[in-house]
Structure 1
Amino acid sequence: MLWLGASLALLLGLMLVGYIFEPVAEAADARAYPPPGQMVDVGGYRLHINCTGTGSPTVVIDAGWGDSSASWSWVQPKVAKSTRICTYDRAGMGWSEASPQPRTAREYANELHTLLAKANERGSFVLVGHSMGGYTVIVYAHDYPTEVAGLVLIDSQALPKSDVANSKPAPKPGGTSLPSLMARIGLVRLLADPLGSIQNLPAGDKQAYTASAVTPRGVQTFTDEGMGMSEGGTQARAVTTLGALPLIVLSRGKDQDADWAASQAGYLKLSTDSQQLFADHSGHRIMIEQPDAAVAAIVKMVEMVR
């Protein structure tokens, strides 16, 4: 039994060391990777928005589930050669502070609307949504139609097939999940290794992406976003038409099964002025795996609505 007590003491000691080390590491990362844009108060918490380039319409990008604005580092400078472009971090992701509100598409859209207004960014906007971000921009275009000139859906998450099956309301964030507890003792940071296409980001952006993703805030927000995704999908599914709003659906060419292909084609029904493009050499994260395809689709939309 002595070995059991010694093992437990060692484990508790390591957890204590990790608990002390984690905020020190977070502070070091904050110094090493300051926000490239501005922090804007949207009602008791601040969101990060980074706008570059000049011209109209302004492109606004909403990242996918768990992704930060750093994931668009290949795309933003190229689009900025043609027009103004803003990337931002949803509450709790990247450099943004956490929100007390449920993580759903409508809440994201409302927060983004407030953020753009307080950052003095004026429409009309071309909204770009990747993966789960597609839900947000669809709801935004529905709720604020006079502000939106066009929509680009980049391999957007499939809509739920039934409202009933996804009617459970999203919980308010701020709970403590097992992954976030692991992050508080530094275990997520210790084990972190950028997965998949994130490895293909520029070095500084990859490190900034990882630095925010491994924090307790980032890990908990990832969990909260996942728990709110069903309700967000139901909110987007309720938008049956956007009229004649120009719409481009950019879909991946690799690893696409029949259900995913059908969901991508289904988005074309949102508008009478829609078209589908393909990133033939890319998987889901087109903005990293085939960024030129994402740039081309966005710039094409900008030129269409000018």
Structure 2
Amino acid sequence: MPLFSNNKRDDDETSSRSRRAHSDNVGEPSGPVDEHTRLLPNRLDSTQGTGMLRPDDPAVTPYNLWTIRILRFATVVLTLITFAWWVLLLVSAFATPPGFNMRGSGFYAFSFASLAMSNLLFKLIFFGVPAKAVRILCVVMAFILLLDMVLILSVEKTRYEEGWVGTASVVWSVLISLWTLLADRTVKWGKAEEEERLTGRAETRRTLTEWLEVLLSTIGYSIMTAVAVLITLTIILRALDAGVAPPGKLHWVDNGKYRIHVYCSGNSTNAQGHKVPTVLFEGGERSVEHDVWQFADNAIKNGSISRYCFADRPGIAWSDAAPSPLSASFATDVLSEALAKAGEDGPWVLASAGIGSIYQRVFSSRHGEEVKGMVLIDPLHEDLLPEVGSAGRGFLLWLRGVISPLGLDRLPGALFKGRTSRDRIYGRAAQQNGKFIFAKFQESLVAGSFTKRDVEGSRQIQHRDTPLVVISSGQHIKDSRRWEKKQRDLTKLTDNLKHWDIVDKASHEIWTTLEGRDKIEKRLKQLVQA
């Protein structure tokens, strides 16, 4: 009896040790620990007698592989680098760091950085759910961005305007597209390998959550691909516009950072050989070429003036964009520098419209001896500059600039309305140009602060004997008592007011009416011949 009992006890202990050994080894392959087994927990309840896990078991994941985990970590690092670059481009629109100036708008570089950032964020969010549609879209987007890079680098003007910052941005976006393609393909491989190793076969089915993630990632990459296509089309338009040469010459200013376009026409002497004043035009809300170029040529033909010049402000028409911030004082300095390099030293009769009068008043106060008269055409008063620099207007200009590389207005204009390159450079469609929008955004940033201070200071040092003519819009005065009050105040800029004309039926752009053109030409003739 005791012998029987001892044998049974020994058999029970042997059986228990066998079960524990079997339990310890279930779900864990024999052999040394490697990247396939390090994170794999024991699954006694999942073996079902086969040693395989269920497909929905949390242990069935590509993150078991060191390759996948390192790939995800590298993607996070690339996202942080891209975010830092994106923030730097965002800040440069408001305050340009040294050496970071782009002679174009800078909005294209920001768009490429935004594409790269979106690409990486989508990859991180849907990292564990690879999809064939995403890989196809990544290939398409990488090809389109590569085409953008070739277009920018092969056309001299686009390469010049984008500079090293724009070039680096488009190259980085191409590399990120290729990286996301590699990451998605690698995760697909890792997922299939782990499923086959742990469940016996690669899973072809998806859960409802996985299908939703695939749908969202596909939609996101489809939108990014469409954005890349639109950017490519606008770059093609820029390449076409690069073939239009400026009528004048471009002069390097601000220690060779960018160029200002200066154009002059006519004779600087009269029939008797005496030097006569040159009319220096300044554009208002648009470029001189759009506003008064044709008017100026007609004035020469009519004999009202002998010669005229104009210099496009930074970012307008053919002039390069300048670093931010750009106040009226800074803009006037570079305009003066460009005129000096063009060999133009006056004497001048100044003619400006709208906000252009702000810049010419600063110019007049600094070149008083050379200024023989001023004609202000429905000029903007310095007290109204805070409205130009309002936060709402500035935000809308920035937003327009950010979406300007998509060409949502320029592309239909070129395809369906017959807009030409000249229209986009200085004509009716110029306000859709990213460089022009950036110039207006810069103007808005400091209008109520630096520029207002500049023009108020210029009023204190303005030569009081300078002949002055103010020509106001009758419609504008009728619509706003405040505007009439400010126009009246501007007639007191000097002690030598010659005329204050109100053109009854003219809008703010007085030169668009026959009466307005006649009045402007008559006053210019009087000042030039005085």
Instruction: Give the TM-score normalised by structure 1.
Output: 0.83
Name the CA shift for 1:260/1:191 in 2 (closer, same or farther; >3 Å): farther
Bigger strand fraction: 1
2:445 is aligned, of 214, 227, 240, to 227
Bigger helix fraction: 2
Partner of 2:489: 266
Does the residue aligned with 1:65 lie in a helix, a strand or coil?
coil
Partner of 2:253: 42
Gaps of at least 5 residues in structure 1 are: 169-175, 194-202
Partner of 1:247: 468
Equivalent residue letter for 1:237: E
Is the Cα contact below 8 Å between 1:94 and 1:213 reproduced in 2? no
Q: Deviations over 1:88-132 (max 9, x none)?
A: 210111110111253222112211211111111121111112111
- Equivalent pairs counted in the alignment come to 286
Return the offset for 1:250. Answer: 1.0
Equivalent residue letter for 1:213: Q
Equivalent residue letter for 1:69: E
Partner of 1:197: none
Name the CA shift for 1:237/1:161 in 2 (closer, same or farther; >3 Å): farther
Distance 2:412 2:439 in 1: 19
- After superposing on structure 2, the runs of 4+ consecutive aligned residues of structure 1 that deviate more than 6 Å are none
What RMSD, in angstroms, separates the aligned Cα atoms of the two structures? 2.9
- Structure with greater Cα Rg: 2
Return the offset for 1:189. Answer: 1.9
- Counterparts of 1:26-37 in structure 2, within 5 Å, are 26-31=238-243, 33-37=244-248
Does the residue aligned with 2:242 lie in a helix, a strand or coil?
helix
User: Which stretch shifts more, 79-88 or 114-123?
Assistant: 79-88
Name the CA shift for 1:295/1:207 in 2 (closer, same or farther; >3 Å): farther
Does the residue aligned with 1:145 lie in a helix, a strand or coil?
coil
Name the CA shift for 1:125/1:20 in 2 (closer, same or farther; >3 Å): same
1:291 is aligned, of 517, 520, 526, to 517
State yes or no: 1:15 paired with 2:233: no
Name the CA shift for 1:297/1:213 in 2 (closer, same or farther; >3 Å): same
Return the offset for 1:191. Answer: 6.1
Is the Cα contact below 8 Å between 1:79 and 1:298 reproduced in 2? no
Q: Percent identity?
A: 25
State yes or no: 1:52 paired with 2:270: no
Equivalent residue letter for 1:180: G
Equivalent residue letter for 2:406: I
Return the offset for 1:27. Answer: 1.5
Name the CA shift for 1:232/1:192 in 2 (closer, same or farther; >3 Å): farther
Is the Cα contact below 8 Å between 2:476 and 2:483 reproduced in 1? no
Distance 1:219 1:207 in 2: 12
Does the residue aligned with 2:476 lie in a helix, a strand or coil?
coil
Partner of 2:506: 282
Does the residue aligned with 1:282 lie in a helix, a strand or coil?
coil
Partner of 1:209: 426
Is the Cα contact below 8 Å between 2:281 and 2:288 reproduced in 1? no
Name the CA shift for 1:46/1:253 in 2 (closer, same or farther; >3 Å): same
RCO comparison, higher one (Cα < 8 Å, 6+): 1
User: Which stretch shifts more, 77-86 or 6-15?
Assistant: 6-15
Distance 2:375 2:438 in 1: 29
Partner of 2:89: none
